[in-house]
C-alpha cells in the first residue's frame, strides 16, 4: 500500500492538480472545527456501516473489523487525541484514511451510499444534540439556584421600576423567580429546536438519495433519532435551517441572562445599592482606589448580546440560497460551533456569581422609596368602598401637598404576586419541559452502538 499517496489524495480527487491558494481558501477552518465533530462523525459511521452490512454491502467478516477500528478512532476522538493530518481536508477524509491504513480497501467501503453532504449534516445534528443536553443541564442548575434564592428572599422588598422611575413594591423573591420562569420558556424554545434537530438526514447523500437500497429507518433507530427527514431534498435543505433554529433558542437563553446581568449592574451601583458582590468578584480602577466594578456581569451581558446576533448571522449566510448544497453553508460552522461553549460559560459564571451575591434587606428604609406604596393605599380606599378614580385622586392630592405617609406593607395574594410566588408551579413547569428531551434514550443508543 502506498501510504504517502493516502496522505495527500482527496476522496473527491480525479488525478487533476489542485490550486494551493484555492484549496486553502475553500478548506477554511474546517480542519480545526472538525476536531469537535470527530466523535460524532465516527458514531455516524458505525451506524452507517451496520446498515451497509444489513443490505449486503459489507460482508459478515468485515463488519466486526470495521466497527472495532471505528470504536478505536472514537476513543481517540473523545480523549482529545484525534488529529486531522496535514493535507487531509476534513474529519470524514481522516476517518476513512485511518480505516484504510488499518484494513486496506475494506476501509474505503464505508462511503457507499452517503456523501460528505449528509455526513456533515449528520455530524452537526449529533453534535448539536450533545451540546443541547449540556446547555439544558446548566440552565436547569441556574434555574434551581434562582428558585432557591427566590424562596429565601421572598419577604425582602425593594422598589420595582417602570420607565426607570420608581413604581411599585417588588421583592427579591419576585426578581429571582422572574428569571427562573424566563428560563422555562427559553428551554421550551430549545426543546422545539431539539425536535427539529432530532431527525435523521443520513441517506440523503448529496441531496437526491441513492440507488443503493439503504435502510434509513435502521440508522434512525441506531442513532436514537425520533424520526428521519424523509424527503432527501428537504434533508439537505435542513443544513443552515437546523443551525438557525437552534441559534434562536440559544439567543433566547442569552437574552434572559443579558437582562439579568443588566439588572445586577444597576443594582450594584451606589445609586441603587440593592445587591453587592464579594470583593474578590469585582475589579478595581488604575486611578480610583474606591472602585469595585461588576465586570463579571458586564462581560456576561456583552457575551450574551453577541450570542443574540447569531440567528441573524446565519440568516444572512443562507437567506438567498436555493435548494441543494452550496459551500456557503460551511461558514456557518465558524459561528455556530463556538456559540455553545460561549453560552455554557455564561450559564456557569451566572450561577457562580448569583450564588454569592448579597441582597440588601433595608432598601426601603430610604424615604425616596416611600411613594412605591401609593398604589397600595389607593387599593385600600377602593376596598373600603371608594370608586377607584376618586381614590386615585385622593392619594395623588396627598402626594402633591406633601401629606402622604405610607404604610410600608403589602398584601398581595394572587398567583405569581409578592405573597404567592408559585415557585413550586414554576419548578413543575421546568421539570415538564426537561422531560420532553429524553436524553437517556440517546445515551442508551450510543452505548449499544459502541458495544462489542
Element (H, E) at 169: strand 165-171
In a domain? residue 61: yes
In a domain? residue 57: yes
Considering the domain architecture, whether residues 345 and 373 belong to the same structural domain is answered as no
Domains held by the chain: number:
3
- Give the separation between CA 198 and CA 81, rounded to whole angstroms: 28
Considering the domain architecture, whether residues 210 and 310 belong to the same structural domain is answered as yes
- Give the separation between CA 434 and CA 425, rounded to whole angstroms: 14
User: Is-catalytic flag, 285?
Assistant: yes
In a domain? residue 328: yes
Domain of residue 142, CATH code: 1.20.200.10
Would you state the pLDDT for residue 27? 65
> Which of 89, 88, 121, 93 is closest to 333 using CA atoms?
121
Sorting pLDDT into bands at 50, 70 and 90, what band is 361? very high
In a domain? residue 163: no
pLDDT tens for each residue of 272-299: 999 999 988 888 777 888 888 889 999 9
- Give the separation between CA 122 and CA 43, rounded to whole angstroms: 10
Overall pTM surpassing 0.85 (yes/no): yes
Considering the domain architecture, whether residues 121 and 90 belong to the same structural domain is answered as no
Considering the domain architecture, whether residues 371 and 304 belong to the same structural domain is answered as no
The predicted model gives 155-173 an average pLDDT of: 95
E strand spans, 27-73: none
Residue 223 pLDDT greater than 80, yes or no: yes
Would you state the pLDDT for residue 5? 42
C-beta of residue 214 within 8 angstroms of C-beta of residue 235: no
Sorting pLDDT into bands at 50, 70 and 90, what band is 132? very high
Considering the domain architecture, whether residues 8 and 34 belong to the same structural domain is answered as yes
Residue 443 pLDDT greater than 90, yes or no: yes
Considering the domain architecture, whether residues 191 and 258 belong to the same structural domain is answered as yes
Considering the domain architecture, whether residues 68 and 150 belong to the same structural domain is answered as no
Considering the domain architecture, whether residues 141 and 28 belong to the same structural domain is answered as no
Q: What percent of the chain has pLDDT over 90?
A: 83
Domain that holds residue 372: 367-401
The predicted model gives 216-221 an average pLDDT of: 98
Residue 157 in grid coordinates: 422588598
Residue 442 pLDDT greater than 80, yes or no: yes
The predicted model gives 226-250 an average pLDDT of: 96
Considering the domain architecture, whether residues 57 and 105 belong to the same structural domain is answered as yes
Considering the domain architecture, whether residues 134 and 59 belong to the same structural domain is answered as no
Average pLDDT across the chain, whole number: 92
Q: What's the number of CA atoms in the CB half-sphere (13 Å) around residue 343?
A: 33
Sorting pLDDT into bands at 50, 70 and 90, what band is 205? very high
In a domain? residue 47: yes
Q: Which of 79, 163, 290, 451 is catalytic?
A: 163
User: Is-catalytic flag, 414?
Assistant: no
Considering the domain architecture, whether residues 179 and 196 belong to the same structural domain is answered as yes
Considering the domain architecture, whether residues 239 and 143 belong to the same structural domain is answered as yes
Domain of residue 76, CATH code: 1.10.275.10
pLDDT tens for each residue of 35-60: 999 999 999 999 999 999 999 999 99
In a domain? residue 421: no
Q: Which of 269, 285, 302, 323 is catalytic?
A: 285
In a domain? residue 142: yes
Would you state the pLDDT for residue 252? 98
In a domain? residue 412: no
C-beta of residue 334 within 8 angstroms of C-beta of residue 29: yes
Amino acid at each position: 500500500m502506498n501510504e504517502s499517496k493516502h496522505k495527500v489524495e482527496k476522496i473527491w480527487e480525479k488525478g487533476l492538480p489542485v490550486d494551493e491558494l484555492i484549496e486553502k481558501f475553500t478548506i477554511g477552518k474546517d480542519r480545526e472545527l472538525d476536531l469537535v465533530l470527530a466523535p460524532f462523525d465516527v458514531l455516524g459511521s458505525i451506524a452507517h456501516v451496520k446498515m451497509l452490512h444489513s443490505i449486503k454491502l459489507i460482508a459478515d467478516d468485515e463488519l466486526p473489523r470495521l466497527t472495532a477500528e471505528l470504536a478505536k478512532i472514537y476513543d481517540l476522538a473523545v480523549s482529545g487525541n484525534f488529529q486531522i493530518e496535514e493535507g487531509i481536508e476534513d474529519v470524514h477524509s481522516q476517518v476513512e484514511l485511518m480505516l484504510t491504513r488499518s484494513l486496506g480497501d475494506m476501509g474505503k467501503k464505508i462511503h457507499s451510499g452517503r456523501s460528505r453532504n449528509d455526513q456533515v449534516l449528520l455530524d452537526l445534528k449529533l453534535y448539536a444534540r450533545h451540546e443541547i443536553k449540556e446547555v439544558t443541564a446548566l440552565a436547569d442548575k441556574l434555574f434551581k439556584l434562582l428558585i432557591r434564592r427566590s424562596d429565601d428572599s421572598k419577604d425582602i422588598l425593594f422598589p420595582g421600576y417602570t420607565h426607570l422611575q420608581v413604581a411599585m413594591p417588588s421583592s427579591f423573591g419576585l426578581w429571582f423567580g422572574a428569571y427562573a420562569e424566563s428560563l422555562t420558556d427559553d428551554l421550551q424554545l430549545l426543546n422545539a429546536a431539539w425536535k427539529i434537530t432530532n431527525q435523521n438526514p443520513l441517506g440523503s447523500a448529496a441531496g437526491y438519495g441513492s440507488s443503493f437500497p439503504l435502510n434509513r429507518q435502521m440508522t434512525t433507530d441506531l442513532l436514537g433519532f425520533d424520526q428521519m427527514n424523509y424527503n432527501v431534498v428537504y434533508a439537505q435543505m435542513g443544513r443552515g435551517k437546523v443551525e438557525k433554529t437552534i441559534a434562536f433558542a440559544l439567543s433566547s437563553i442569552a437574552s434572559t441572562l443579558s437582562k439579568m446581568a443588566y439588572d445586577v449592574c444597576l443594582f450594584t451601583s451606589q445609586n441603587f445599592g440593592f445587591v453587592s458582590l464579594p470583593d474578590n468578584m469585582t475589579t478595581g480602577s488604575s486611578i480610583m482606589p474606591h472602585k469595585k466594578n461588576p465586570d463579571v456581569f458586564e462581560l456576561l451581558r456583552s457575551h450574551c448580546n453577541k450570542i443574540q446576533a447569531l440567528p441573524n448571522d446565519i440568516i444572512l449566510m443562507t437567506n438567498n440560497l436555493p435548494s441543494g448544497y452550496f459551500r456557503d453553508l460551511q461558514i456557518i460552522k465558524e459561528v455556530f460551533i463556538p456559540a455553545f461553549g460561549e453560552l455554557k460559560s455564561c450559564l456557569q459564571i451566572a450561577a457562580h456569581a448569583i450564588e454569592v451575591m448579597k441582597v440588601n434587606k433595608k432598601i426601603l428604609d430610604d424615604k425616596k422609596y416611600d411613594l412605591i406604596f401609593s398604589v397600595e393605599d389607593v387599593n385600600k380606599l377602593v376596598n373600603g368602598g371608594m370608586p377607584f378614580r376618586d381614590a386615585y385622586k385622593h392619594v395623588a392630592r396627598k402626594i402633591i401637598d406633601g401629606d402622604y405617609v405610607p404604610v410600608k406593607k403589602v398584601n398581595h395574594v394572587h398567583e405569581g404576586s409578592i405573597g404567592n410566588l408559585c415557585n413550586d408551579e414554576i419548578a413543575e413547569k421546568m421539570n415538564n419541559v426537561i422531560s420532553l428531551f429524553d436524553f437517556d434514550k440517546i445515551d442508551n443508543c450510543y452505548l449499544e452502538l459502541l458495544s462489542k
